[in-house]
Amino acid sequence: MGYEVQIAALRADATIWEDTAKVLSSAATTASGARVPANAVSIVGQLADFDTVANELVDLAAQILRQGDNATTKMATTLRSVARQYETDDAAAQASIGAEWTPIS
């Protein structure tokens, strides 16, 4: 029993993860721009710290989105690294076997 690695599938999946990272990065930037300025809140809202709490939530959302961006970028990089390693290992195995083996057609 053997196995076969689909290197093209690894690279295709890496692209999906990378595209996801771009979306998360854009969302983090958008979230960061959604802060509530103090002058946009009524005096009652200021007394209730609405702007402070709202901005803490915005900052938390942006932080989580950035973490998602970093994690999905890392996954894409890892998948591409695995694909390269399989290619390197296959080439090394083929070089070491050389002409001693030929596939049966």
Single-letter residue type at 54: A
For residue 77, give the nearest of 23, 25, 21, 5 by alpha carbon.
Answer: 21
**pTM, two decimal places:** 0.78
- What domain range includes position 69? 8-94
Instruction: Report the pLDDT value the prediction gives residue 100, as an integer from 0 to 100.
Output: 73
Let me know if residue 3 belongs to a domain: no
For 44, the token pair is 């009652």
Instruction: Report the pLDDT value the prediction gives residue 19, as an integer from 0 to 100.
Output: 98
Average pLDDT score over residue span 84-94: 88
Let me know if residue 104 belongs to a domain: no
Tally of domains within the chain: 1
